[in-house]
Structure formats: C-alpha cells, structure tokens
Chains A and B, each alone.
Chain A
Amino acid sequence: MTEIVNLQTKIQQHFANVEMAILHEQITLQITTSDLIKVCYALRDIVDLQFNQLIDLCGVDYLSYGQDEWATTSATGEGFSRAVKGHQPSATMPMPGRFAVVYNLLSTVLNHRIRLKVFLPEHSMVVPTVTNVWSAANWYEREAFDLFGIEFAGHPDLRRILTDYDFVGHPFRKDFPLIGHVEMRYDAQQGKVIYEPVSIQPRTLVPKVIRQVGIEENV
C-alpha cells in the first residue's frame, strides 16, 4: 500500500492537474487526447517513473454501461429473452465519451504499474499512436481499430488484425450483436464460399442484472 502512495505522490509532482483514481491499489490516470503523447513520453522517461513496458492496450465501449436488462411485467413463453431490451444509448452518459482507450503500463525497473485512460466522443474517434513510445503498441492498436473502429493517427500500418478478410463492422462495439450480421457456408452450386444474413435468433440465457446488495455479508 505504501508503494501506491509513493507512486501517487510522484505522479502528483510530475502531472499537476491530471485526474487520478485509485481502486484496489491500482492507479488510473484519465487524460485527454491532446495530452496523451506528452504524458506517455514523460511516464517512460522520467527517472523515478520509468514505465518501460506497454503491457496492454485496449478499447472499451461505454454505450450501455450501468444498464440492466431485467425489467418485465407479464410472463411470456419466450424465456429470459422477454426481459431483454437490447442495448440503447443511455439518456445520461455516465462517461465523458462513448469510447475509451485504456493503456496498462509496467515498469520493470521500479516494479510498479499504472493505467491510462483516454475517452473519445463518437464523432471523433482518433487518438495519436503511441507506437513511437513503445513499439509493442503496434498490434494492440490494430486490434482496437479492428474491434472498435478507433483510429490511431500516425500508426504505420493500421489494418484489421483479428477479424476475417473483408469483414464489415467493428464487432466489439456494444451495438454489434453477439451473433453477428452474416454467416458463411460453402455453396456447391456456385462452387465457392458465400456470405448470407444470419439465420439464427439472438437469445439471452441469463439476463444482465445489477444489484448493490449481498456481497459484503458474511465474507
């Protein structure tokens, strides 16, 4: 715990007005797109921080954050699916932007970790690339681009990485259905593999519920 407090004071010294949150002994800095590169270089190069490794980089879509799916009035024969409203944009956006890019950093020299978070509004989903700071970012940024459609300005080779060749859409967005939009099969008559709209129905086996109680008791 003392190490976290130490790191916290160091961060406060170097970055005067950065929004900082500590949860479970992990520090998260929330920064803006314009500060990102400056902060990343500083975190890497300042002698008492030395975050020399980018451990992970990922996108997050906050579209349906904090919404549950369990509100129903009458019983039907549809099982749990009757209660599912689907993901709608929440009226009150809990976050400063729909999307976020999260950077998990590690210092192997000083043995500490930190997390950076950059929020992006839906209309300008562009972040500067950090490949020049840590070259490990290359594929991680391609992944975030592929799955969420976040653009990384200045990335040397921003192509899709995990999805199929010629894939359409960004599958990890919350408004992309779990079953997808197309299915693929081999068509014997045409002698090739073809895509068709999905023939299955989405089904919810366990609806999402949010409960505040019940965890702390008898631990």
Chain B
Amino acid sequence: MSKIENYTLNFGPQHPAAHGVLRLILEMDGEVIQRVDPHIGFLHRATEKLAESKPYNQSIGYMDRLDYVSMMCNEHAYVMAIEKLLGITAPIRAQYIRTMFDEVTRILNHLLWLGAHALDIGAMTVFLYCFREREDLLDAYEAVSGARMHATYYRPGGVYRDLPNKMPQYTESRWRDAKQTAKLNQNREGSLLDFLEDFVSRFPKCVDEYESLLTDNRIWKQRTVGIGVVSPEQALQLGFTGPMLRGSGIAWDLRKKQPYAVYANLDFQIPVGSQGDCYDRYLVRVAELRQSTWLIKQCITWLRANPGPVTISNHKIVPPQRVAMKEDMESLIHHFKLFTEGYCLPVGEVYAAIEHPKGEFGIFLISDGANKPYRLKVRAAGFAHLASMNVMAKGHMLADVVSILGSQDIVFGEVDR
C-alpha cells in the first residue's frame, strides 16, 4: 500500500472566513493541520510611511482605517502619543467623552466580532442581532462626528466638538409612513446622551439574547471548547494582549494597570478566562460587552453633570473657533498656520498604548522637532495574535482553523497597516 504524504492547501486570500485578505498555506496530514504559514500584507498601505509625509493632524484619519472596526480607539493612542510629547493634557470633559466613545467602540468591535465569528461557525441569527445593535452605535458616531465609521473625532488637545444636543432624526418618505417614522424616532427626541442612555438600558437584554443563543448551545461548544488552547506562559511568550491574554487567565488590562483617560475614576471589572480556549475567549468578550455598558453609563452620568470645554485653549495646537476667525486677525493667522503647516513637536520619542478592543494598541512616535512624525510605528494587537496561528492550529482539524482565526479577532487593516 502506498504511503499518503502531507499535502498543502491554500486558504484565501479571498475567503469569507478569512476575515479580509489572509492567505494561509496549510500543510495537512489528512484533515489534521501540521503547519500553518499565514501570508499577510495584502492590505499593506504603508500607513506609517504615509504619516511621515504629513503634518500630525492629517494622519488622524488614517488611524481610523487601521483597525476599521474600532476606529476611535486607534485615534486615542495616536492622539495620546502626540499629547505626551507636547506635554499637554486634554480637559477632563474631553477625557470623559473619549472614555465613553472608547467603550462605545469596544461594543462596536465586539459585536462585529461576535456576529462574524458565529457566522463562521454556522450560527446565522447572531449576526443579524449584532448588526441591529451596531446600527444604534454607528448613529451615535454619526451624531458626534458626522461619519458613521471613520470619525476623526479625537484631536490632540481634546475632541473635535462637544456632544450634540440633538440627535438626527428619520424623516417620512415614500417607504416610511408617519407611524413608522415616529417609532424610529422614539429614542432620538433628546440629546446624544439621552440616546446612549436609552441604548445602555436596552443593551444588557440584547447581550442576554446572544448568550441564550450561544453560551449553552451544544454545537457552539463543540466547535469552541478545547480548541486553540493557549497556556498563560505561551500567551505571554507570543506577545498576546487584550482578550486573548485574559482568556488564558491573566488579568492584564491597561485600563486598570496603566490607566489613561479617566479609567482610574471609573468602576469596572476585568473578566478572565481559565482554559485559554476559543470558548473562554468568547466568554471574556461577552463579559466585556457588559462591562463596557456599565462604563458608558458612568460616563453619561458624569457628562450630564459637568459641562465644560472639550479642547485646550492653546491655538498653537487647536484651531480657533471659526466665528472668531471672521473678526480676529490673530485667530486667522493661527488658523492659516495650523492648516498649512501644522504644529511642531519637541524632539523626542514616546510610546503610548491603550487597551484596544483587540489588545494593546500602541503608537511609538519619534519626533525630530518637525511638523511631521520622523517615524511612526503602530503596534497592532492582531499582528502578534495572527503570528501565533501556527502554534495554535497545529494538530487541529481544518474546520478548527476557522474557529481559531475567529477567536483571534483579526482585522487586516491593523495587521497589515
């Protein structure tokens, strides 16, 4: 009888379960994975090099496009790096707004992850449920920044503008009669904070819905329990951060350990897994959905009670009010200088990291005193996670690759940069 040798299988670069443009070269023995060689870079846009040719503020928008499902968190790290080098701090209200939107972003990210991951493993309904709730949060993004995804809302020295007092509303049309419109606008009568408050009061029930579909679901457990197990030691060696590290049982969360923005003032827990398998990572992320909801609630309460400025008043860094420009020569000059040349950062280098929904997202910035970064390095969590694919998938079946890849929460915008 002839011996059957290992063969290689090409997975991607275009595959619905590859979460973008990932090409995996799988070396198989029958249906068992012997070796995985991920080929990345299909979405490489050289964001870091592009940033070297632009004034600082013009790159904020590029940060949104790194991890394009958790936009504002990326901006946060970038803006924090600039602020550290400039030696400025944003006003407290801006910090609360940033914290609130970081958590909104975390929910956005985890909802997309949950929906897509469930869809990969074969549960269709969760996807539709998740996108239903995402819609509301994207509306919140739109209300505050004008864009549903790529917000460019955080700025060095604060945020672009204060929270709006009015939510945009649906209008009647040929396809929507008065009754339907009124129903859609029900929670949009008040301010953005009212809208978000309504959301956080509804949302825990929604999480219960997802959980009732998945947590005790036999098929879900068969596909995830005991799959892609990573020990705590291995997780640290492989550079894991975020839910991947917490799923392996290490209670490491930058929001608690190295607090930034106003996380030190807020109350929340770090959910931790015990087995380090795909199922635990799922549980950690679902628990984070609940924690984020609670964090948003606390921010809303504070923001209601404490009006105030949302940017610093130094017009060498933050552009002056447009109205002021019409009459005040100084404002006009500041405006002109900021938008033609930008501002210069002092010489130095800094690393700023935040707890991104996917893990530690860091910006390493080197300035030579110019109005553009000399070198910008983006530390994306997904890059380290995907690098561990070979270790995690070895010895598993082909179908488990999809579970493992899903549980890593990979987005190619940040892996390829």
Q: Which residues of B contact A205 (CB under 8 A)?
A: 54
Inter-chain contact A24/B84, CB cutoff 8 Å: yes
Nearest Cβ in chain B — how far from A102, in angstroms?
7
Nearest Cβ in chain B — how far from A191, in angstroms?
21
Inter-chain contact B371/A218, CB cutoff 8 Å: no
Q: Which residues of B contact A134 (CB under 8 A)?
A: 237, 239
Whether a CB of chain A sits under 8 angstroms from the CB of B325 is no
Q: Which residues of B contact A60 (CB under 8 A)?
A: 366, 375
Q: Which residues of A contact B88 (CB under 8 A)?
A: 219
Bound: A204/B48 CA distance, A: 17
Whether a CB of chain A sits under 8 angstroms from the CB of B343 is yes
Given A111-B258, A210-B370, A219-B314, decide whether A162 and B379 contact each other with a Cβ distance below 8 A. Answer: no
Inter-chain contact A135/B351, CB cutoff 8 Å: no
In-complex Cβ contact of B370 among A56, A171, A209 (8 A): A209
Inter-chain contact A171/B238, CB cutoff 8 Å: no
Q: Which residues of B contact A65 (CB under 8 A)?
A: 368, 374
Q: Which of B38-46, B98-106, B178-186, B295-303 contacts A (4 or more CB under 8 A)?
A: B38-46
Which residues of B are at the interface with A, using a C-beta cutoff of 8 A?
Answer: 40-41, 44, 46, 48-50, 53-55, 58, 84-88, 236-239, 241, 245, 250, 252, 257-258, 312-317, 340-351, 353, 360, 362, 364, 366, 368-372, 374-375, 377, 379, 383-384, 386-387, 416-417
Inter-chain contact A219/B46, CB cutoff 8 Å: no
- Write the A117-141 contact mask toward B (1 if CB under 8 angstroms, else 0): 0000000000000000011101110
In-complex Cβ contact of A162 among B41, B360, B362 (8 A): B41
The 10 closest A-B pairs by CB, nearest first: A136-B239, A162-B41, A139-B387, A56-B379, A58-B377, A162-B44, A211-B344, A210-B369, A66-B368, A210-B370
Q: Which residues of A contact B345 (CB under 8 A)?
A: 215
User: Considering only CB atoms and an 8 Å cut-off, how many residues of chain A contact the other chain?
Assistant: 49
Inter-chain contact B369/A136, CB cutoff 8 Å: no
Bound: A197/B92 CA distance, A: 52
Bound: A172/B366 CA distance, A: 14
Q: Which residues of A contact B348 (CB under 8 A)?
A: 23-24
Inter-chain contact B49/A104, CB cutoff 8 Å: no
Inter-chain contact B50/A28, CB cutoff 8 Å: no
Bound: A66/B345 CA distance, A: 12
Nearest Cβ in chain A — how far from B416, in angstroms?
6
Inter-chain contact B53/A204, CB cutoff 8 Å: yes
Inter-chain contact B362/A210, CB cutoff 8 Å: no
Inter-chain contact A162/B416, CB cutoff 8 Å: yes
Given A54-B239, A212-B369, decide whether A206 and B314 contact each other with a Cβ distance below 8 A. Answer: no
**Can you name 15 A-B residue pairings with CB atoms under 8 Å?**
A52-B236, A55-B239, A56-B364, A113-B351, A136-B238, A139-B384, A204-B53, A206-B372, A209-B370, A211-B369, A214-B344, A215-B86, A215-B317, A215-B343, A218-B315
Inter-chain contact B237/A26, CB cutoff 8 Å: no
Q: Which residue of A lies closest to B54 (CB)?
A: A206
Nearest Cβ in chain A — how far from B27, in angstroms?
14
Inter-chain contact A206/B236, CB cutoff 8 Å: no
Inter-chain contact B374/A210, CB cutoff 8 Å: no
Given A134-B237, A136-B239, decide whether A55 and B46 contact each other with a Cβ distance below 8 A. Answer: no
Q: Which residues of A contact B50 (CB under 8 A)?
A: 178
Inter-chain contact B239/A26, CB cutoff 8 Å: no
Inter-chain contact A218/B350, CB cutoff 8 Å: no
Q: Which residue of A lies closest to B379 (CB)?
A: A56
Nearest Cβ in chain A — how far from B234, in angstroms?
9
Inter-chain contact B344/A215, CB cutoff 8 Å: yes
Bound: A205/B314 CA distance, A: 25
Q: Which residues of A contact B377 (CB under 8 A)?
A: 56, 58, 102
In-complex Cβ contact of B362 among A104, A160, A172 (8 A): A104
Given A60-B375, A163-B44, decide whether A23 and B53 contact each other with a Cβ distance below 8 A. Answer: no
